[in-house]
Amino acid sequence: MTVLRSNFEPGTSRWATRRAQWRALGLTDEDMVKPKIAIVNSSSQLAICFSHLDEIARRAKRAIERAGGVAFEVRTAAPSDFITSAGHRGGYILSARDLITNDIEVAVEGALLDGMLCLASCDKTAPGQLMAAGRLNIPTVIVGCGYQPSGSYRGRHCDIEDVFLAAGHLANGQLTLPELTGMSENAVLGPGVCAGLGTANTMHVACEALGMSLPGTTPVRANSQPMWQAVEQAAGRIVEMVAEDLRPRDILTPDAFANAVMTVLAVSGSINSVKHLQAVAAEAECDADVYGLFERLAGQVPLLTAIRPNGDHSIEEFEDAGGARAVMIQLGGLLRTGAPTMTGATVGENLSGVAVADEEIIRPASRPLGRRPTIVLIRGSLAPAGGIVKLAVADDRRLEFSGPAVVYDSPDQALAAVRGGEVSGGEVVVLRGQGPTGSPGMGMASQLVFALDGAGLTGQVAVVTDGQLSGLVNKGIVVGEVSPEAAAGGPLALVKTGDQISIDVAARTADLAVPADELEERRRSLAARPPSPERGWLSIYQRLVGPLPAGAVLTGPGRPPDGAP
């Protein structure tokens, strides 16, 4: 029988005071010795993505009690990209991922609870919860809490990403304010994460591919019967996992990360999953080089599905075809089927006997949609530690671009230049100072990309930035998340307007055509960075965040100062 860490010796001070507190909450002496499960609820009334989680938490609590456990709901930060990005140049978005991890540590580790049932919703909740699971290493199940229903406008499909993209066309007269208003009124029809394979649904799928979520539960319609069944099953399973002492580090192995990377590549998922999966590996102290996996596996993994906005199929069709589990089945011999999972069985055992419901939506590996990777890791003299390009599924554009740089040090400056007609075809638009340290918190560069599209410059210019891009799809050749970032002294900090930049996506290179001796002279002449004006959480994040290739996790004692995983 597993000894529960939440139980203290009767008669001790810790036992007596805890008993007094919990008896006042209505717990019985019988409850005191049961497995104590944290229901991690990243809930908020600020955004529709979280608006259904409180009811999920209530039902999960009852299900855990029926399974023989005691449930305690704990809350964390709940960032929404479209809401929480308004302040401090979007710095609270990526940084909130690590805040979620630390929120969980304080509540769960402080109370020495025995297991966690994590309710995953918007983009940063799933990675933050996975990171906490890896760090605390107590039995954990991640529950994907579903995607929102989207609508239509003037006879065409309309979701939140359509609204985001359309806003870039308004300033250039291609869309009217009433049209944009109409789209925004019809894009979201209920609770859940953004429809389509953005970061949220990608990370929910990645949780299943890692073995940290129940097989066959991602993606899922929010508040649907399958979602409620998954909640019930996960609540029962977490109590069993505590008894079995099945922990995240038993599951989060190098093979598990390889499976997650292959699944993300096969569905053309969000590029944000790269840094998130690397962060999970770092917190789990797993020797998995996720960036290296994306580089090595990109040429081997076929593209098996094309879900909006990457293709014509809806997220509902993807779910109905079998979702993550069906993709893993179709990957066949590429998958590491011996990897353990939270069910207690291996990946191969979980997939045994399961059929793909629609092989036109989720193709077999022998009949893929394509073999060219849509998530491409770029290196070169401009991005020695890497950058990422996201390509559309059906993309036959020229994948090379050379031109003079035009450099901007803030999104506002770059957007003003686009709107003022100062950016011309043939140029490489450089937006820097947006990395985890420089922003701080990693600024969003997608507004610039969409503004360039609205100005009719897609395909005529390229973009290079150390900022974060939309997890869905980008327009034109866009190299994002360049590392080292400019604020860390990376080559991006040395670029001047007029410098020649060459990008070759097929060759996976991005180079700055400036002699090494001149770059060294520029480096010596760089002015020292002024003291940061940030205070509060962002100042802490700025001082402690590591580099992107290590997952941009917070550094500290026991972790190498360069942030290496």
The shares of helix, strand and coil residues in the chain, as percent rounded to the nearest 5, are 40, 15, 45
Cα 358 off chain centre by: 27
Inter-CA distances, 343 with 166, 214, 351, Å: 43, 7, 12
Cα 404 off chain centre by: 32
The CA distance from 261 to 243, in Å, is 30
Active-site choice (43, 273, 470, 483): 470
In this structure, what token pair is assigned to residue 557?
A: 């004692």
In this structure, what token pair is assigned to residue 400?
A: 């090379």
Starting at the earlier edge strand, list the strands of the sheet with 477-483: 375-378, 386-390, 477-483, 462-465, 428-431, 400-408, 500-504, 509-512
Note if 446 is an active site residue: no
In this structure, what token pair is assigned to residue 255?
A: 């093979």
Selection from 370, 373, 299, 301 nearest residue 330 by Cα: 301
CB atoms within 10 A of CB 520: 11
Q: Identify the burial level of 177 via C-beta atoms within 10 angstroms of its C-beta, where 0-12 means exposed, 13-18 middle and 19 or more buried.
A: exposed
In this structure, what token pair is assigned to residue 413?
A: 């400056």
DSSP per-residue letters across 363-416: --TTS-SBSS-SEEEEBSTT-TTEEEEE--SS--S--EEEEEEEEESSHHHHHH
Q: How many Cα atoms within 13 Å fall on the side-chain side of residue 260?
A: 35
Instruction: Report phi then psi at 515, rounded to 5.
Output: -55, 145
The CA distance from 152 to 359, in Å, is 27
Report the catalytic residues. 470
